[in-house]
């Protein structure tokens, strides 16, 4: 069977069905590593994790280890963590500070900018042969530091990061900007939460595209109440800051999907974070400052979203960037980078640290519910009989508007349109389509705010 026709059958947007095998098939998974993760822009880390020259943070792009470094000229690099001599990792630590990365196998040494700077017995063994500038660590083809978040691609022909983001940028900004509306100003705090889950990496990525239909999964957590005002008797996973908002589910060129909300005009502050008056006052102040700074644009507030292929965000409660690293067709290594305003008071950071632990991760009460769904859904994709029936992605099919009330393909009711467009884009990558074809979308429009 022609492999390209095969992917068109696996992702059938006309019928609103997607074949289960894309979540469990070993060959499809191996093709993803080659066709998706070598071309797409991937989230690597945050500049706050490498604040000083010589600092490094070991991350991943697909299944491969990379090093996020800051060199001694204060420039950030993303380097393949793979010695050019025999392939051993040159860095075996999660993070730290070092003048060089020395391979433990044969002791070739590399500077934070990737240059090969040390070779044992170089004069005797490599005299007049070794051209060290040709044997530096492999560096990504393109990198972008966007409001502190570091993104990279191996594909030198990829569109620039802002073209890749398109109008999804305005929504990602809601997670990366300070709560008072000033640009950037966030940092990663508390380390990176990492764990392995027996699910296909696309399942949680799709979930964060805007799957609000799964809320019944969390009813037990909502009944208990774990949010920032739980001590004052508020039920739910979070405070209801969006009680008066119009929710919007939006798909963009490039496969990105978000769930945000539009507050009404002249909307009033909804009291939240009531367990601590210092924290509540901080959020009230930030809300008022954001209204002054952004005007009508302050109506757009975040919920969740996915930047194709495997980076998602929680925009506010909690507030984090999430990477769903492929670890096999039925395994994902999940990394959560928790965000906070750099200038937030200690009381705010302490409250958020405790709240994030209650909510997220393998011990988090909300994410336990999610992982049970993701894990069973992945396992349910491999059954001999079950695999004969595709999954139904027909929810709110053909019920959307273009660029109304925000740029993109917009629904104001729960929808699987974001997921359908996500898998359409995935199929384009898997068929080796051109960047123009990959970025084709019903709502190709340039947001004036970009």
Quick check: 450 pLDDT over 70?
Answer: no
Contacts 24+ apart (CB under 8 A), 82-87: 82/137, 82/138, 83/108, 83/110, 83/137, 84/108, 84/116, 84/135, 84/136, 84/137, 84/138, 85/135
CATH for 42-143, among 3.90.226.10, 2.60.40.10, 2.102.10.10, 3.30.1120.10?
2.102.10.10
Cα dist. 145→103, 104, 152, 170, 258 in Å?
28, 31, 9, 16, 21
Answer whether 105's CB lies under 8 Å from 84's CB.
Answer: no
**309-329: pLDDT as tens digits:** 999 999 998 999 999 999 999
Closest of 307, 339, 345 to residue 320, by C-alpha: 339
> Could you state, in order of their start, the residue ranges of all structural domains in the chain?
42-143, 166-438
Residue 408: what pLDDT?
97
Instruction: Report the pLDDT averaged over residues 269-291.
Output: 95
Instruction: Report the pLDDT averaged over residues 163-171.
Output: 97
Angstrom distance (rounded) from CA 412 to CA 222: 24
Quick check: 449 pLDDT over 50?
Answer: no
Class of domain 166-438: alpha beta
Quick check: 446 pLDDT over 60?
Answer: no
Residue 389: what pLDDT?
95
Q: How far apart are the first and last CA of the chain?
A: 42
Answer whether 137's CB lies under 8 Å from 110's CB.
Answer: yes
Q: Which residues pair with 246 in a beta bridge?
A: 262
Q: In which order are the strands placed within the sheet that holds 42-46?
A: 42-46, 149-153, 142-146
The pTM assigned to this predicted structure is 0.96
**417-426: pLDDT as tens digits:** 999 999 999 9
Angstrom distance (rounded) from CA 208 to CA 302: 12
Quick check: 447 pLDDT over 80?
Answer: no
Q: Residue 5: which pLDDT band, with cuts at 50, 70 and 90? A: low
In this structure, the number of other CB atoms found within 10 A of the CB of residue 155 comes to 14
Angstrom distance (rounded) from CA 277 to CA 295: 26
Angstrom distance (rounded) from CA 101 to CA 91: 6
With b for 16 or more beta-carbon neighbours within 10 A and e for fewer, the 350-361 pattern comes to ebbeebbbbbbb
Nearby residues of 23 by Cβ (< 8 Å), 6 or more positions away:
200, 202, 203, 329, 330, 377, 378, 381
Q: How does the average pLDDT of the chain come out, rounded? A: 94
The number of residues in the chain equals: 450
| Strands 42-46 vs 17-18: parallel, antiparallel or unpaired | unpaired
Q: In which order are the strands placed within the sheet that holds 116-118?
A: 101-102, 109-110, 116-118
């Amino acid at each position: 069977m022609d492999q390209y026709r095969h992917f068109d059958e696996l992702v059938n947007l006309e019928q609103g069905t997607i074949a289960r095998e894309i979540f469990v098939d070993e060959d499809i998974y191996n093709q993803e590593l080659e066709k998706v993760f070598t071309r797409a822009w991937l989230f690597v880390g945050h500049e706050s994790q490498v604040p000083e020259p010589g600092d490094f943070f070991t991350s991943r792009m697909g299944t491969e280890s990379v090093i996020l470094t800051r060199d001694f000229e204060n420039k950030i690099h993303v380097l393949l963590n793979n010695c050019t001599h025999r392939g051993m990792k040159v860095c075996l630590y999660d993070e730290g500070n070092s003048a060089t990365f020395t391979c433990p196998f044969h002791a070739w040494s590399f500077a934070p900018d990737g240059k090969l700077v040390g070779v044992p017995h170089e004069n005797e063994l490599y005299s007049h042969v070794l051209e060290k500038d040709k044997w530096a660590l492999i560096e990504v083809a393109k990198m972008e530091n966007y409001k502190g978040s570091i993104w990279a691609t191996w594909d030198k022909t990829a569109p620039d990061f802002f073209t890749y983001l398109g109008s999804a940028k305005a929504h990602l900004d809601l997670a990366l900007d300070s709560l008072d509306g000033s640009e950037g100003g966030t940092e990663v705090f508390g380390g990176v939460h990492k764990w392995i889950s027996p699910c296909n990496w696309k399942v949680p990525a799709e979930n964060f595209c805007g799957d609000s239909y799964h809320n019944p999964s969390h009813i037990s957590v909502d009944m208990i109440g774990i949010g920032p005002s739980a001590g004052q008797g508020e039920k739910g996973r979070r405070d209801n800051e969006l009680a008066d908002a119009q929710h919007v589910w939006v798909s963009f060129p490039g496969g990105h999907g978000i769930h945000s909300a539009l507050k009404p005009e002249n909307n009033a502050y909804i009291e939240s974070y009531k367990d601590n008056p210092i924290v509540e006052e901080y959020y009230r102040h930030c809300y008022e400052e954001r209204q002054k700074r952004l005007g009508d644009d302050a109506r757009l507030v975040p919920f969740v979203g996915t930047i194709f292929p495997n980076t998602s965000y929680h925009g506010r409660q909690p507030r984090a960037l999430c990477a769903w690293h492929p670890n096999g067709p039925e395994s994902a290594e999940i990394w959560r980078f928790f965000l906070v305003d750099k200038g937030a008071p200690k009381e705010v950071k302490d409250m958020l640290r405790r709240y994030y632990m209650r909510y997220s991760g393998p011990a988090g009460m909300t994410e336990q519910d999610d992982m049970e769904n993701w894990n069973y859904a992945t396992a349910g994709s491999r059954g001999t009989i079950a695999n004969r029936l595709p999954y139904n992605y027909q929810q709110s099919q053909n019920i959307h508007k273009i660029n109304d009330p925000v740029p993109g393909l917009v629904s104001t009711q729960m929808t699987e349109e974001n997921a359908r467009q996500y898998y359409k884009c995935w199929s384009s990558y898997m068929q080796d389509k051109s960047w123009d074809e990959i970025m084709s979308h019903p709502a190709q429009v340039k947001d004036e705010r970009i």
